[in-house]
Structure 1
Amino acid sequence: MAEESGRGDHAFPQAQREGLYRAIHERRDVRAQFLPDPIPPEVLARLLEAAHHAPSVGFMQPWDFLVIDSLAVRERVHGIFQRENAKAAEHYSGDRGETYRRLKLEGILESPINLCITCDRARGGEHVLGRNSIVETDLFSTCLAVQNLWLAARAEGIGVGWVSILDQDELAEVLGLPEQVYPLAYLCLGYVSEFLEQPELARSGWRQRLPLAELVHGSGWGEPLADEALHEALAEVARS
């Protein structure tokens, strides 16, 4: 007799579910813990394959991947970071400024591999299914590729750091990108000495994680949840 269909038919086994949630909760933006050990080609290939399997609106797959092992290129990118970081530091003064200047915000030269994930804004042609109303969906789709790679990297024991303090026009020039290709994410990848228990910015006191229960609304902004059981479940998750 065929088994009856049920809501759990397509769920992963418990150990696999726990592994997925562990990767999500233990993922970190790594800056200072990189080891010099190279990433084996087969492992890097798995990470890129995971990124390539991200969802994309209209199945446009707007991403490309630049695997940057050239020290000369990385030094040029590091120079861009240093200039932009100095500009960013001007926004903070006093204790906040001192804290900012102590933060390690990149691992461009320390990590064995830099990876730039780009977004080809012309991929798929002039009319992409599902993109007519929200043209930025190509950028959103590429962000999903970044997240896929990040979670797969955590499962492989590899740290990832996103360097966002860069002038994107200068970066595009350094990497020789075509005009329609946007350098969405510049990432540092490598094995690490440790994964921090807390995100670096939380540990340093810069900013803490917001309570999830305060961010979940009902059918309209600011409306309470109609489902009391969900409200209780959110409170339980916060306590765990």
Structure 2
Amino acid sequence: DTVTENERIRDELWGVVYGIWDHIKNSGAFDADSLTLDWVGAIPGKREYRRFVGDHTLTQQDLLSQRTFPDTVAFGGWSIDLHPVEGVYAETAGAQQRYTDGTYDIPFRSLYSADVANLLFAGRNISASHVAFGSTRVMATCATQGQAAGTAAHLAARHGFTPRELGTDHVAMLQQTLLREDAPLIGVRAHDGADLAQRARISASSELVRLDTTPWATADTFALDRDAALVVPVDPVLGSVAFRTVADHDTD
């Protein structure tokens, strides 16, 4: 119990750390007999703690299906990363991952309380299932939630809304404010008449038309002997991308 047994957990973890260190230093198998251990942290880092219940509880299915939410205010993309409850004593694999096909939405309804009228939350306590939490917990994803919750708190205080009223009746205001702050709202268009960038025109002095003109390619082919990725803008000006492959034998 990470709430009531924090000190017991710390002592147990210290025992594990020092036991492993004793083996490393004194077993003779690691050439470490003249090394010393300088420091071990005194506060256990909690992966999972209390989570609150919002108007929507984000689930594994929401993530894996990349469900689109009309009140999206943040996004994630980390794998659903689950660890065995036995921790270091587990005899199973140390982690299991499930991957989405890309990013997923985090709705504002998961960032405010279902029964406390003025409570917002962000980070590792949002309204998410245990499995969905395996992805939403990472720091960059928590940061997008924090920006959304902080912006929502400002708007709620300024206009006298509750978080639920803001998310139900004024979600466009929240989303457009976040976009003006350069928040990453995937799939949400900015509609700000004062935004000069929307009327700007961009031109280029040259353009790339063949992959083999890039420094990391050979004269006529690029060998797929390792993982490779190419990021290109497909909306709105690029109509299609074509790849020609050459293989010496049947392959995937």
Decide which structure has greater strand share: 1
Fold match, TM over 0.5? Answer: no
Decide which structure has greater helix share: 1
If the length of structure 1 is used for normalisation, what is the TM-score?
0.19
Which structure is larger by alpha-carbon Rg, 1 or 2?
A: 2
